[in-house]
Amino acid sequence: MSGGIGKKTVRDIDVAGRRVLVRADLNVPIENGVITDDTRIRESLPTIEYLLAHDARVIVCSHLGRPKGPDPSLSLAPVAGRMANLLGREVLFAEDCVGPIAEAAVESMGRHVLLLENLRFHPGEEQNDPQFARQLASLADIFVNDAFGAAHRAHASTEGVTHYLPAVAGLLMEKEVRYLGALVANPPHPFAAVVGGAKVSSKLPAIQHLLPKVDILLVGGGMANTFLKAKGLDVGASLVEDDLLEAARDVMRSADARGIELHLPVDVVAASRFAADAETVTVPVEQVPSGYLVLDIGPETVRRYAAALQRARAVIWNGPMGVFEMEPFASGSFELARTIASLDAVTVVGGGETAAVVAAAGLHDRFTHVSTGGGASLEMLEGKTLPGVAALLDA
Contact 80, 61 (CB under 8 A): no
In the chain, DSSP finds a helix count (H) and a strand count (E) of 15, 17
Residue 265, preceding peptide bond in cis (omega within 30° of 0): no
E strands, 245-350, where? 261-263, 267-271, 280-284, 293-297, 314-318, 346-349
Question: Is 124 a residue of the active site?
Answer: no
Question: Is 6 a residue of the active site?
Answer: no
Spatial separation of the C-alpha atoms in residues 352 and 324, rounded to whole Å: 13
Query: What's the length of the chain?
Result: 395
Question: Is 332 a residue of the active site?
Answer: no
User: Which one is catalytic: 3, 197, 332, 352?
Assistant: 352
Contact 295, 323 (CB under 8 A): yes
Maximal CA-CA distance, the chain: 70
Spatial separation of the C-alpha atoms in residues 233 and 285, rounded to whole Å: 8
Report which secondary-structure segment, H or E, holds 113.
strand 113-116
Question: Is 375 a residue of the active site?
Answer: yes
Contact 313, 345 (CB under 8 A): yes
Report which secondary-structure segment, H or E, holds 209.
helix 200-210
In terms of DSSP bridges, do strands 293-297 and 267-271 run parallel, antiparallel, or are they unpaired?
antiparallel
Nearest to 195 by CA among 364, 353, 356, 360: 353
Nearest to 176 by CA among 350, 358, 360, 1: 350
Spatial separation of the C-alpha atoms in residues 287 and 272, rounded to whole Å: 14
Spatial separation of the C-alpha atoms in residues 97 and 102, rounded to whole Å: 5
Calculate the alpha carbon distances from 394 to 4, 48, 220, 337 in Å.
11, 22, 38, 36
DSSP letter at 235 equals -
Please name every residue paired with 116 in a beta bridge, in sequence order, or none if there are none: 94
In terms of DSSP bridges, do strands 216-219 and 191-195 run parallel, antiparallel, or are they unpaired?
parallel
User: Which one is catalytic: 11, 18, 19, 199?
Assistant: 199
User: Which one is catalytic: 4, 6, 81, 375?
Assistant: 375
Give me the active site residues, please.
40, 199, 352, 375
